[in-house]
Amino acid sequence: MGQPRKSRKKYNTPPHPWNAERIKNENKLMTKYGLKNKKEIWKADTLVRRYSREARYLLGFGTDQMVKEKLELLGHLARTGVLPEGAALEDILDLNVEDILRRRLQTIVYKKGLARTPKEARMFVVHGHITLNGKKINSPSYVVLKGQEDEIGFYRSSPVAKQIEEYNQNKDNKANTEE
């Protein structure tokens, strides 16, 4: 039995620590998504491997229980926005780490234009400037469901909201004048 206060790690480390190609790819992902450390990439990779393992297991059987589990897995991935509606079980095998990283709160805040950079999006989330359906969420790794994307915004008393609105307006004005 383990220590109740210390949960187990939720990721697997790479099998070989000094693989130059893997390190280069991880560094690109870290800058693209504004991640804090490589542990976040490894967590997403472990999640992809779990989904793939479950899909391979379900592809091997055809009983009624397996059909039910297959629909549950596909429904879960469709609700989170990782897979489109009506995807097949074989599509799970094509998932990659970026599919999971795209669904993080930090990434969606950046994509919606609530932050200038992915790192700034992370800072806004951690410092409590971002809400989801009116509730503060300060975890950048929170997986946003597909239906919750429109409910993301700034906290009502956040001083950052005005600055970002002005930045977006200036950016739009420059784009309009260049055309």
Laid out side by side, the sheet with 130-132 consists of: 135-136, 130-132, 152-154
pLDDT digits (tens, 9 = 90+) for 144-157: 999 999 999 999 88
What would the two tokens of residue 83 be? Answer: 């897979």
pLDDT digits (tens, 9 = 90+) for 24-41: 999 999 999 999 999 999
pTM beyond 0.85: yes
Q: How confident is the model at residue 1 (pLDDT cuts 50, 70, 90)?
A: low
What would the two tokens of residue 40 be? Answer: 């976040």
Model confidence at 63: pLDDT above 90: no
Cβ atoms of 70 and 58 closer than 8 Å: yes
Mean pLDDT rounded to a whole number for the chain:
94
Q: Report d(CA 25, CA 37) in Å as an integer.
A: 13
Q: How confident is the model at residue 89 (pLDDT cuts 50, 70, 90)?
A: very high
What would the two tokens of residue 172 be? Answer: 């739009």
Alpha helices in 34-153 (DSSP H): 38-59, 64-80, 97-101, 105-111, 118-126
